Amino acid sequence: MVARTSLELRVAAGGVACVVAIVIASAATGCGALIGIEDGVPDPGLDATSADATSGDATTDASTGNTDAAMADSSVADAAPVPTPITKPGGDTTSLPCGSMTCAIPSESCCAYRSSTQPGLYTGVCATTCAPPSGTDDRVSALKCSGPANCPSTAPRCCYHQTSNGATETTCQTQCGTSFSDAVLCDPNQPNSCGFQRSCEHFTGNSMPPTWAYCN
């Protein structure tokens, strides 16, 4: 019925009939061509555009993520360790407890910072060179041993020495000094760490961590 009407209009109207036939044909096929679909098949041009946009977004997101991760890694790498309270002596000939850290001795020291506001509080951090005290800390001591357990047989004594500026240091030696500013460190948890003639006593007077001890 539609085909016959189209033919009659074409014969009767000449050039105008062609326009009418085209309109009728479009009505028969629907409006799919207007939205990029021809004969029920999606126009690949639209899919390609969507895929490109998705690919672009993914690339941008991945790039941003990598940049953020790099910045986070850089921030972590630049962060300095925070000194934590020094508790008891211990360790062995290659390690020395220092707050929450363990120092690799003798290359590293336990940098012990004395608080000027809390008597008896020493906080420590491992380093090859101790940074000057800051904030509420008023003194830093470079400690490489806390008792005989940290010293090798060639230098069996852990010697305490107070320097001229009031800071202290401890190192393993064959013999310790005998002046008022020198002492031999010991571990109160180890029997006879000072020998049978001397006692192992905790430090007083805030010159060293109060949990550490010396031979008296």
Residue 165 is predicted with a pLDDT of 75
Token pair in block for residue 60: 């941008």
- Low-confidence residues of the chain, pLDDT below 70? 1-79
Residue 81 is predicted with a pLDDT of 80
Helical (H) or strand (E) element with 66: helix 44-78
Each residue of 78-87: pLDDT tens digit? 567 888 999 8
Residue 195 is predicted with a pLDDT of 82
Closest CA to 142 of 100, 173, 103: 103
Q: Which residues face 170 on adjacent strands?
A: 143, 160
CA 156 to CA 198: how far, in whole Å? 17
CA 107 to CA 121: how far, in whole Å? 25
Closest CA to 24 of 43, 46, 1: 1
Residue 79 is predicted with a pLDDT of 65
Residue 1 is predicted with a pLDDT of 45
Global pTM value: 0.62
CA 215 to CA 187: how far, in whole Å? 9
Count of Cβ atoms closer than 10 Å to residue 205 Cβ? 8
Residue 160 is predicted with a pLDDT of 96
CA 166 to CA 164: how far, in whole Å? 5
Domain range annotation of the chain: 84-215
Q: What are the φ and ψ backbone dihedral angles of 141, each rounded to 5 degrees?
A: -120, 135
Closest CA to 110 of 135, 137, 89, 138: 89
Residue 78 is predicted with a pLDDT of 53
CA 209 to CA 115: how far, in whole Å? 11
CA 97 to CA 189: how far, in whole Å? 15
Token pair in block for residue 54: 């998705």
